[in-house]
Amino acid sequence: MQNNLALNETYFSFCCTIPAELVELWNWFCFEKGALGTETLQESSLESRLKIFYPKKPDGGAQKLFECFQREMNAKLEIRIHEEGSHPVENWQANWREHFHPVKVGQSLIILPSWKTGIELSGRHPVWIDPGQGFGTGHHLSTALALEMLEQFLLETDTLPESMLDLGTGSGILAIAACRLGIKKVTGLDIEAEAVAEVERNCELNGLSGRIIGHVGQPSFLKKPAPLVISNMLLSELLDIRLDLIRLTSPGGTLICSGLFGKQEEELRNSLTEMGFVYRASLERENWNSIQFQRFGKES
Protein backbone atom coordinates (compact mmCIF):
# COMPACT_ATOMS: atom_id res chain seq x y z
CA MET A 1 0.00 0.00 0.00
CA GLN A 2 2.89 2.31 0.60
CA ASN A 3 3.17 3.16 -3.09
CA ASN A 4 -0.28 4.69 -3.13
CA LEU A 5 -0.44 6.10 0.38
CA ALA A 6 3.06 7.45 0.85
CA LEU A 7 2.05 10.83 -0.54
CA ASN A 8 -1.09 11.00 1.61
CA GLU A 9 -1.36 11.78 5.29
CA THR A 10 -4.64 9.94 5.71
CA TYR A 11 -6.67 7.04 4.37
CA PHE A 12 -10.47 6.65 4.43
CA SER A 13 -12.51 3.87 6.00
CA PHE A 14 -16.07 3.09 6.99
CA CYS A 15 -17.86 0.31 8.82
CA CYS A 16 -21.05 -1.28 7.58
CA THR A 17 -23.46 -4.03 8.51
CA ILE A 18 -24.67 -6.18 5.64
CA PRO A 19 -26.78 -9.35 5.20
CA ALA A 20 -24.53 -12.43 5.25
CA GLU A 21 -25.50 -13.56 1.76
CA LEU A 22 -24.27 -10.27 0.26
CA VAL A 23 -20.84 -10.07 1.92
CA GLU A 24 -18.83 -11.60 -0.93
CA LEU A 25 -20.56 -9.54 -3.57
CA TRP A 26 -20.26 -6.29 -1.58
CA ASN A 27 -16.55 -6.89 -0.90
CA TRP A 28 -15.95 -7.57 -4.59
CA PHE A 29 -17.87 -4.43 -5.58
CA CYS A 30 -15.83 -2.30 -3.15
CA PHE A 31 -12.56 -3.67 -4.52
CA GLU A 32 -13.72 -2.91 -8.05
CA LYS A 33 -14.39 0.66 -6.94
CA GLY A 34 -10.87 1.13 -5.61
CA ALA A 35 -10.91 -0.32 -2.09
CA LEU A 36 -7.54 -1.22 -0.60
CA GLY A 37 -8.89 -3.95 1.63
CA THR A 38 -11.72 -5.19 3.83
CA GLU A 39 -11.85 -6.57 7.36
CA THR A 40 -14.58 -8.68 8.96
CA LEU A 41 -15.27 -7.33 12.47
CA GLN A 42 -18.24 -9.53 13.42
CA GLU A 43 -20.22 -12.18 11.60
CA SER A 44 -23.23 -14.40 12.14
CA SER A 45 -25.51 -16.51 9.97
CA LEU A 46 -27.70 -13.42 9.38
CA GLU A 47 -25.32 -10.49 8.91
CA SER A 48 -21.72 -9.33 9.05
CA ARG A 49 -20.08 -6.14 10.25
CA LEU A 50 -17.25 -5.07 7.92
CA LYS A 51 -14.62 -2.36 7.72
CA ILE A 52 -13.73 -1.10 4.23
CA PHE A 53 -10.50 0.81 3.48
CA TYR A 54 -9.86 3.33 0.68
CA PRO A 55 -6.80 5.49 -0.10
CA LYS A 56 -9.10 8.51 -0.06
CA LYS A 57 -12.79 9.25 0.38
CA PRO A 58 -14.78 8.11 -2.68
CA ASP A 59 -16.86 10.81 -4.35
CA GLY A 60 -20.02 11.14 -2.29
CA GLY A 61 -18.61 8.93 0.47
CA ALA A 62 -19.87 5.54 1.58
CA GLN A 63 -23.53 6.38 0.99
CA LYS A 64 -23.03 7.10 -2.69
CA LEU A 65 -20.98 3.92 -3.00
CA PHE A 66 -23.88 1.97 -1.52
CA GLU A 67 -26.39 3.66 -3.86
CA CYS A 68 -24.19 2.72 -6.81
CA PHE A 69 -24.12 -0.89 -5.56
CA GLN A 70 -27.93 -0.93 -5.36
CA ARG A 71 -28.21 0.49 -8.86
CA GLU A 72 -25.72 -1.90 -10.45
CA MET A 73 -27.18 -4.93 -8.65
CA ASN A 74 -30.68 -3.72 -9.59
CA ALA A 75 -32.07 -4.53 -6.16
CA LYS A 76 -33.22 -2.94 -2.91
CA LEU A 77 -30.66 -4.03 -0.34
CA GLU A 78 -30.14 -3.22 3.33
CA ILE A 79 -26.65 -2.04 4.25
CA ARG A 80 -26.16 0.07 7.38
CA ILE A 81 -23.19 2.43 7.17
CA HIS A 82 -21.48 3.88 10.27
CA GLU A 83 -18.10 5.08 11.58
CA GLU A 84 -17.14 6.83 8.35
CA GLY A 85 -14.01 8.98 8.30
CA SER A 86 -10.34 9.58 7.51
CA HIS A 87 -7.41 8.32 9.57
CA PRO A 88 -3.60 8.76 9.73
CA VAL A 89 -1.65 6.58 7.31
CA GLU A 90 0.82 5.51 10.01
CA ASN A 91 1.48 1.76 10.16
CA TRP A 92 -0.85 1.06 7.22
CA GLN A 93 1.64 -1.04 5.28
CA ALA A 94 2.73 -2.95 8.38
CA ASN A 95 -0.91 -3.83 9.11
CA TRP A 96 -1.59 -4.82 5.49
CA ARG A 97 1.46 -7.10 5.36
CA GLU A 98 0.01 -9.18 8.17
CA HIS A 99 -2.84 -10.19 5.85
CA PHE A 100 -1.01 -10.79 2.57
CA HIS A 101 0.69 -14.18 2.55
CA PRO A 102 1.86 -16.47 -0.28
CA VAL A 103 -0.99 -18.34 -1.93
CA LYS A 104 -0.76 -21.33 -4.28
CA VAL A 105 -3.13 -21.18 -7.22
CA GLY A 106 -3.97 -23.99 -9.60
CA GLN A 107 -1.35 -26.55 -10.55
CA SER A 108 1.63 -24.30 -11.20
CA LEU A 109 1.33 -20.76 -9.78
CA ILE A 110 2.24 -19.17 -6.46
CA ILE A 111 1.37 -15.54 -5.65
CA LEU A 112 3.98 -13.86 -3.46
CA PRO A 113 4.12 -10.47 -1.73
CA SER A 114 7.19 -8.49 -2.77
CA TRP A 115 8.67 -8.51 0.73
CA LYS A 116 8.63 -12.31 1.12
CA THR A 117 12.02 -13.83 0.31
CA GLY A 118 13.43 -17.31 0.59
CA ILE A 119 10.08 -18.94 -0.18
CA GLU A 120 10.24 -22.54 -1.43
CA LEU A 121 8.59 -22.46 -4.86
CA SER A 122 8.24 -26.25 -5.19
CA GLY A 123 8.41 -25.99 -8.97
CA ARG A 124 5.67 -23.36 -9.20
CA HIS A 125 5.86 -20.19 -11.28
CA PRO A 126 6.26 -17.17 -8.94
CA VAL A 127 4.05 -14.11 -9.41
CA TRP A 128 5.44 -11.32 -7.22
CA ILE A 129 2.95 -8.59 -6.27
CA ASP A 130 3.46 -5.32 -4.43
CA PRO A 131 -0.20 -4.64 -3.59
CA GLY A 132 -1.54 -1.16 -4.02
CA GLN A 133 -4.88 0.24 -5.14
CA GLY A 134 -5.08 -2.18 -8.07
CA PHE A 135 -7.28 -5.15 -7.19
CA GLY A 136 -5.58 -8.53 -7.41
CA THR A 137 -3.52 -10.43 -4.86
CA GLY A 138 -4.96 -13.87 -5.64
CA HIS A 139 -6.78 -14.12 -2.31
CA HIS A 140 -10.26 -13.26 -3.60
CA LEU A 141 -11.99 -16.14 -5.36
CA SER A 142 -12.76 -14.05 -8.44
CA THR A 143 -9.02 -13.56 -9.03
CA ALA A 144 -8.09 -17.12 -8.07
CA LEU A 145 -10.67 -18.56 -10.46
CA ALA A 146 -9.52 -16.28 -13.28
CA LEU A 147 -5.95 -17.49 -12.71
CA GLU A 148 -7.05 -21.14 -12.65
CA MET A 149 -9.10 -20.80 -15.82
CA LEU A 150 -6.21 -19.03 -17.55
CA GLU A 151 -3.75 -21.71 -16.42
CA GLN A 152 -6.09 -24.53 -17.46
CA PHE A 153 -6.50 -23.08 -20.93
CA LEU A 154 -2.79 -22.42 -21.49
CA LEU A 155 -1.71 -25.84 -20.21
CA GLU A 156 -4.23 -27.67 -22.39
CA THR A 157 -4.05 -25.70 -25.65
CA ASP A 158 -2.04 -27.16 -28.54
CA THR A 159 -0.69 -23.77 -29.62
CA LEU A 160 0.04 -20.95 -27.19
CA PRO A 161 -1.43 -17.57 -28.22
CA GLU A 162 1.24 -15.03 -29.11
CA SER A 163 -0.46 -12.26 -27.13
CA MET A 164 -3.20 -11.48 -24.60
CA LEU A 165 -5.38 -8.53 -23.66
CA ASP A 166 -6.08 -8.02 -19.94
CA LEU A 167 -9.11 -5.73 -19.55
CA GLY A 168 -9.34 -4.22 -16.07
CA THR A 169 -5.80 -5.30 -15.30
CA GLY A 170 -5.70 -4.04 -11.68
CA SER A 171 -2.40 -5.13 -10.14
CA GLY A 172 -1.38 -6.93 -13.34
CA ILE A 173 -1.56 -10.32 -11.65
CA LEU A 174 -3.29 -12.03 -14.61
CA ALA A 175 -0.90 -10.50 -17.12
CA ILE A 176 2.15 -11.60 -15.10
CA ALA A 177 0.76 -15.13 -14.69
CA ALA A 178 0.12 -15.33 -18.45
CA CYS A 179 3.75 -14.44 -19.15
CA ARG A 180 4.93 -17.03 -16.64
CA LEU A 181 2.81 -19.61 -18.49
CA GLY A 182 4.31 -18.78 -21.88
CA ILE A 183 2.50 -15.78 -23.38
CA LYS A 184 5.08 -13.52 -25.03
CA LYS A 185 3.26 -10.19 -24.84
CA VAL A 186 0.33 -8.80 -22.84
CA THR A 187 -1.52 -5.52 -23.18
CA GLY A 188 -3.14 -4.45 -19.92
CA LEU A 189 -5.91 -1.84 -19.73
CA ASP A 190 -7.42 -0.08 -16.72
CA ILE A 191 -9.39 3.13 -16.19
CA GLU A 192 -7.25 3.97 -13.15
CA ALA A 193 -3.85 5.55 -13.81
CA GLU A 194 -2.70 4.36 -10.37
CA ALA A 195 -3.43 0.75 -11.31
CA VAL A 196 -1.41 1.00 -14.53
CA ALA A 197 1.50 2.47 -12.55
CA GLU A 198 1.29 -0.55 -10.24
CA VAL A 199 1.35 -2.90 -13.22
CA GLU A 200 4.63 -1.33 -14.31
CA ARG A 201 6.11 -1.76 -10.83
CA ASN A 202 4.96 -5.36 -10.59
CA CYS A 203 6.38 -6.10 -14.05
CA GLU A 204 9.77 -4.89 -12.84
CA LEU A 205 9.45 -7.05 -9.72
CA ASN A 206 8.95 -10.10 -11.95
CA GLY A 207 11.61 -9.21 -14.52
CA LEU A 208 8.98 -8.79 -17.23
CA SER A 209 9.50 -5.17 -18.26
CA GLY A 210 8.75 -4.80 -21.95
CA ARG A 211 6.52 -7.87 -22.14
CA ILE A 212 3.51 -6.24 -20.44
CA ILE A 213 2.38 -2.84 -21.68
CA GLY A 214 -0.20 -0.93 -19.64
CA HIS A 215 -2.66 1.66 -20.94
CA VAL A 216 -5.15 3.93 -19.18
CA GLY A 217 -8.61 4.07 -20.74
CA GLN A 218 -11.71 2.21 -21.80
CA PRO A 219 -11.63 -0.90 -24.05
CA SER A 220 -12.72 1.31 -26.96
CA PHE A 221 -9.17 2.73 -26.78
CA LEU A 222 -7.77 -0.56 -28.08
CA LYS A 223 -7.90 -1.25 -31.80
CA LYS A 224 -6.04 -4.52 -32.39
CA PRO A 225 -7.73 -7.81 -31.40
CA ALA A 226 -5.87 -10.65 -29.67
CA PRO A 227 -6.23 -14.44 -29.72
CA LEU A 228 -6.69 -14.43 -25.93
CA VAL A 229 -8.66 -11.87 -23.88
CA ILE A 230 -9.26 -11.99 -20.13
CA SER A 231 -11.36 -9.75 -17.88
CA ASN A 232 -12.03 -9.99 -14.15
CA MET A 233 -14.73 -7.38 -13.57
CA LEU A 234 -18.29 -6.87 -12.34
CA LEU A 235 -21.09 -8.31 -14.45
CA SER A 236 -22.48 -4.83 -15.19
CA GLU A 237 -19.06 -3.74 -16.47
CA LEU A 238 -18.67 -6.86 -18.61
CA LEU A 239 -22.11 -6.31 -20.16
CA ASP A 240 -21.29 -2.65 -20.82
CA ILE A 241 -18.22 -3.64 -22.87
CA ARG A 242 -19.64 -6.74 -24.58
CA LEU A 243 -19.32 -5.18 -28.03
CA ASP A 244 -15.66 -4.51 -27.29
CA LEU A 245 -15.21 -8.06 -26.02
CA ILE A 246 -16.24 -9.53 -29.36
CA ARG A 247 -14.37 -6.85 -31.33
CA LEU A 248 -11.14 -7.43 -29.41
CA THR A 249 -11.26 -11.24 -29.44
CA SER A 250 -9.82 -12.59 -32.69
CA PRO A 251 -12.07 -14.96 -34.70
CA GLY A 252 -11.47 -18.39 -33.21
CA GLY A 253 -9.88 -16.76 -30.17
CA THR A 254 -10.59 -17.33 -26.49
CA LEU A 255 -12.29 -15.03 -23.96
CA ILE A 256 -12.09 -15.66 -20.20
CA CYS A 257 -14.36 -13.72 -17.82
CA SER A 258 -14.38 -13.84 -14.02
CA GLY A 259 -15.98 -11.89 -11.17
CA LEU A 260 -19.37 -13.56 -11.65
CA PHE A 261 -21.46 -14.35 -8.58
CA GLY A 262 -24.36 -16.78 -8.45
CA LYS A 263 -26.72 -16.56 -11.43
CA GLN A 264 -24.60 -13.85 -13.06
CA GLU A 265 -22.66 -16.58 -14.88
CA GLU A 266 -25.83 -17.63 -16.71
CA GLU A 267 -26.70 -14.03 -17.59
CA LEU A 268 -23.29 -13.36 -19.10
CA ARG A 269 -23.27 -16.67 -20.93
CA ASN A 270 -26.64 -15.94 -22.53
CA SER A 271 -25.60 -12.43 -23.54
CA LEU A 272 -22.30 -13.40 -25.12
CA THR A 273 -23.53 -16.51 -26.91
CA GLU A 274 -26.15 -14.35 -28.61
CA MET A 275 -23.31 -12.21 -29.94
CA GLY A 276 -21.20 -14.95 -31.49
CA PHE A 277 -19.27 -16.51 -28.62
CA VAL A 278 -19.40 -20.26 -27.94
CA TYR A 279 -19.35 -21.46 -24.33
CA ARG A 280 -16.39 -23.78 -23.64
CA ALA A 281 -15.89 -24.25 -19.90
CA SER A 282 -16.46 -22.80 -16.43
CA LEU A 283 -15.09 -23.05 -12.91
CA GLU A 284 -17.20 -22.54 -9.79
CA ARG A 285 -16.29 -22.23 -6.13
CA GLU A 286 -18.39 -20.91 -3.25
CA ASN A 287 -20.88 -19.42 -5.73
CA TRP A 288 -18.18 -17.50 -7.67
CA ASN A 289 -17.67 -18.35 -11.34
CA SER A 290 -15.11 -18.00 -14.09
CA ILE A 291 -16.17 -18.80 -17.64
CA GLN A 292 -14.36 -19.48 -20.92
CA PHE A 293 -15.72 -18.70 -24.40
CA GLN A 294 -14.44 -19.07 -27.94
CA ARG A 295 -15.33 -16.51 -30.57
CA PHE A 296 -17.16 -18.02 -33.52
CA GLY A 297 -15.17 -18.13 -36.73
CA LYS A 298 -11.67 -19.01 -37.85
CA GLU A 299 -8.49 -17.03 -37.47
CA SER A 300 -7.48 -15.34 -40.69
pLDDT, tens digit, for every residue of 63-97? 999 998 888 877 677 888 988 888 776 655 555 56
Instruction: Tell me the C-alpha to C-alpha distance, in Å, between residue 286 and each of 54, 131, 260, 271.
Output: 26, 24, 11, 23
Contact between 14 and 84 (Cβ < 8 Å): yes
> What gap in Å lies between CA 173 and CA 72, rounded to an integer?
26
- In CATH terms, 2-96 corresponds, of 3.40.640.10, 3.30.310.10, 3.40.50.920, 3.30.70.120, to 3.30.70.120
**Domain-by-domain residue ranges, the chain?**
2-96, 100-295
For strand 109-113 and strand 47-54, is the pairing parallel, antiparallel, or unpaired?
A: unpaired
134 vs 298: which has the higher pLDDT = 298
In terms of Cα–Cα distance, which of 277, 211, 271, 224 is closest to 246?
A: 277
What's the chain's Rg over C-alpha atoms? 19
Each residue of 35-44: pLDDT tens digit?
877 888 888 8
For strand 226-232 and strand 249-261, is the pairing parallel, antiparallel, or unpaired?
A: parallel
- Domain 100-295: assigned CATH number: 3.40.50.150
**Taking the model in full, what pTM does it have?**
0.79
Q: How confident is the model at residue 286 (pLDDT cuts 50, 70, 90)?
A: confident
Degrees (nearest 5) of the Cα angle 126, 189, 69?
Answer: 100
b/e map 37-46, b = 16+ CB within 10 Å: bbeeeeeeee
